[in-house]
């Protein structure tokens, strides 16, 4: 069975979105009406107006019944919610200048300099690399980068 976008939501997000959905599913029917969608989205921090809510509803309402089920809502939210792992990979690639799969001290320093953060000394950079470098090979691989960012 193919993985759905909703299956990729972290548990915290799944619980947050489910709670918001249930709060507006007042009759416990398992659906929220189109008219409530903008309010639900706003309750979870989305800046939404009625037009964008209608656009979102048209994408989320897979069975075109004018309302959204919890499954449809979770699918919609997962599709709109960026995967934090994608963002970490993108950040890692910014530092991994040569595409080697590792970030060296030189790459780290160059990236900081490009982003106006060149005030760190070589010693400071060495300390940062050493703290993130779990296998002590003098460079940071993607797994070490993710662990350091957690």
73: domain range? 10-80
pLDDT at 22 over 60: yes
pLDDT at 2 over 50: no
Specify the 3-state DSSP secondary structure of 116: coil
Which of 34, 49, 80 is the C-terminal boundary of a domain? 80
Q: How far apart are CA 97 and CA 146, in angstroms?
A: 17
Task: Identify whether residues 71 and 128 lie together within a single domain.
Answer: no
Q: How far apart are CA 124 and CA 113, in angstroms?
A: 14
Classify each residue of 16-27 as buried b or exposed e, where b means 16 or more C-beta atoms within 10 Å of its C-beta: ebeebbeebbee
Other Cβ atoms within 10 Å of 107 Cβ, number:
18
Task: Identify whether residues 32 and 46 lie together within a single domain.
Answer: yes
Task: Identify whether residues 16 and 56 lie together within a single domain.
Answer: yes
Task: Identify whether residues 53 and 115 lie together within a single domain.
Answer: no
pLDDT given for residue 47 in this prediction: 55
Task: Identify whether residues 71 and 90 lie together within a single domain.
Answer: no
Task: Identify whether residues 75 and 114 lie together within a single domain.
Answer: no
Q: How far apart are CA 73 and CA 77, in angstroms?
A: 6
Which of 51, 80, 109 is the C-terminal boundary of a domain? 80
Structure token digits, residue 83: 């995967």
Structure token digits, residue 65: 């019944």
Task: Identify whether residues 53 and 101 lie together within a single domain.
Answer: no
pLDDT in tens, 38-87: 777 777 776 555 556 667 777 777 888 888 899 888 888 777 666 666 67
pLDDT in tens, 86-139: 678 888 999 999 989 899 999 999 998 888 777 888 899 999 999 999 999 999
Task: Identify whether residues 16 and 75 lie together within a single domain.
Answer: yes
Beta carbons of 109 and 41 less than 8 angstroms apart? no
Specify the number of domains making up the chain: 2
Q: How far apart are CA 11 and CA 21, in angstroms?
A: 15
Question: What's the CATH code of the domain at 116?
Answer: 1.10.238.10
Task: Identify whether residues 39 and 98 lie together within a single domain.
Answer: no
pLDDT given for residue 58 in this prediction: 74
């Amino acid at each position: 069975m193919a993985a759905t976008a909703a299956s990729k939501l972290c548990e915290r997000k799944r619980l947050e979105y489910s709670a918001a959905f249930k709060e507006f599913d007042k009759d416990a029917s398992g659906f929220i009406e189109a008219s409530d969608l903008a309010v639900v989205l706003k309750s979870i921090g989305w800046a939404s107006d009625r037009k964008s809510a209608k656009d979102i509803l048209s994408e989320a309402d897979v069975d075109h019944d004018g309302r959204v089920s919890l499954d449809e809502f979770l699918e919609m939210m997962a599709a709109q919610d960026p995967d934090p792992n994608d963002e970490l990979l993108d950040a890692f690639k910014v530092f991994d200048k040569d595409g080697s799969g590792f970030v060296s001290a030189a790459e780290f320093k160059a990236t900081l300099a490009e982003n106006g953060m060149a005030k760190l000394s070589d010693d400071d950079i060495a300390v940062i690399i050493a703290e993130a470098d779990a296998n002590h090979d003098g460079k940071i691989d993607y797994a070490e980068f993710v662990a350091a960012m957690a």
